[in-house]
Structure formats: C-alpha cells, structure tokens
Structure 1
C-alpha cells in the first residue's frame, strides 16, 4: 500500500518543506517491520505563486540541517487540483492555507473534505493530528524557527503514529 502525503503552506519555502523533510526522516528512521507493506510518497507545495522556483528559505534549511536533515534541491511549487486527486492527505500549516484552497479546489470538494475526524479527512491542519487546535507557528513573521520546528516535529510524529495504527 502506498500512502501519499502533501504538506502545504503559503509559499512552500518554510513550514511545508520543513514538514516534508521531517516526515521523510521519520519514515526513514522507522524499523523495517513497522513499514511491512507500506510505502510513503511525501512532498510539499504552496497555495500561492509568490515563491515558485525558490529554494527552501535559508533559516528553515539551517534548522533542518541542525537536525541532520538535508533539503537541498527542493524548490517551491504551487498546489494544483491534480494534487488533490493524487495525494491521500493534504496537510495544511494554518487556517489561511485552508481558506486559500478555495481558489484551488472546487467548492463542493472544499466543503466535503475539510470536516469530520482528522484521520478521516483528506484535507487537514497538521496540528489537528496532535489534537491541538492551532496553526503551525509561522517563522516568516516571527523569525522563530525553533517554534516552527517544534510544531512540525510534533504534528508529523502524531500524524505518522495515527496513519500506522
């Protein structure tokens, strides 16, 4: 079985690539027996076009590197309606990202896929997986990449644990 996860934030240069590469590392570090017949495909994208083609923002890249995670080669791209069809989970960093999906997804899909228990939703907020009703800290405005790391790490660990149950 293949599980496909797309992490999404505004520009795809800080939070969503951090989540992408944290989740990839968490999956890589799992014991082989945990993955039995499960394969993961993990990526990230933006809701906006502002940063398309740009690499991961240097402070985010440094935060990942401090934890032994390499994200070289990653460049920002925008989410598409085709991504919605392809991925099993669309995981957003904040409520603004959720609102911005209205411009990417058809209205009926947006309404249907953003309600119900988090484990049954195709579209969710990352911190919902950790049972926290708040956004992932946005370092773009605060410069606090440690808080973002903490949120992303907590959310990804909780999500992975629930998916593998």
Structure 2
C-alpha cells in the first residue's frame, strides 16, 4: 500500500483539499483500496479545528466532502509510516525538514513538482482565492496520480 501525507501550515485549507481531491482521483482511477491518503500541519496553530469553511465550500462545488476532518500536526515518527510527504509550498518543505531532522529516503516533495512546476500552491488564507488553490492542487494531484499508476 502506498501512503501519502499532504502537508501545509495549519491543515485547514490546502493540505485537506489535497487529501480529499487525491482520494477522489484514487477512486476514479481504481486504486482507492491501494493507497492511504492523509494530511497534516507543520504548525500547532489550528490543531483540532475543522476544514476552513471556504475550503470546504470549494471542495463541495466539485462534489467532494471533507466532513469529519480536523487539523493534526506532523510528528517526527510519521517519517517511517509514509512513502510521500507532499508540501504545498517552500515553507512547508522547510517545516517538514525541521520536524524530521532530515530526509534520508527523499520522501519530501513540493506538490506542483508533479505538474512540472516549481512554484508554490496558491495560498487562499492570504489570497482568499480558493478556486486558484483548488486548481493548483488538482493539477499537482493529477501529476502525482500519473506517477503512481
């Protein structure tokens, strides 16, 4: 089983969007039972909080539910449990490296690298543009799915 952890700052916008978009893509591609997908935060600011309402609304516009999801924080011990740690931006990559200490198995990636892009996923917390974030995340997740299947 392939295990993927999506990571953002607070685990209330971009990483849960990626988690649930990827779960939908996995089911659509017939590998829903062969892949485990989760998301978490590098910070502790939002722990226990649900997905931010505008992010939840953007997912719902595309027929995706994220009910029951609440923010959790990445732990050093997670490194051995997952095959991929996928950050939304450069700051998330730094946060993961800080938490893990290093990345000896090269499991850490930035999401849009799977779409052939080096830029960060648009951050709707600041831009308020949840559609742009959704589109970036979908593009990255489609690229990741292509790599997996």
Q: Which runs of 5+ in 2 are unaligned?
A: none
3-state DSSP class of the match of 1:54? Answer: coil
Q: 1:56 aligns with which of 34, 37, 51?
A: 51
CA RMSD after TM alignment: 1.2
**Distance across 2 between alignment mates of 1:102 and 1:149:** 25
**Distance across 2 between alignment mates of 1:48 and 1:88:** 21
Displacement after TM superposition at 1:83 (Å): 1.2
Correspondence for 2:7:
8
* Larger gyration radius, structure 1 or structure 2: 1
**What is the count of residue pairs matched by the alignment?**
148
Q: 2:121 aligns with which of 114, 136, 151?
A: 136
3-state DSSP class of the match of 2:100? Answer: coil
**Distance across 1 between alignment mates of 2:59 and 2:97:** 31
Displacement after TM superposition at 1:103 (Å): 2.8
Correspondence for 1:158:
143
Correspondence for 2:18:
19
**Distance across 2 between alignment mates of 1:84 and 1:7:** 13
3-state DSSP class of the match of 2:109? Answer: strand
3-state DSSP class of the match of 1:49? Answer: coil
3-state DSSP class of the match of 1:76? Answer: coil
**Distance across 2 between alignment mates of 1:162 and 1:23:** 13
**Distance across 1 between alignment mates of 2:81 and 2:58:** 30
Q: Give the TM-score normalised by structure 1.
A: 0.86
3-state DSSP class of the match of 1:43? Answer: strand
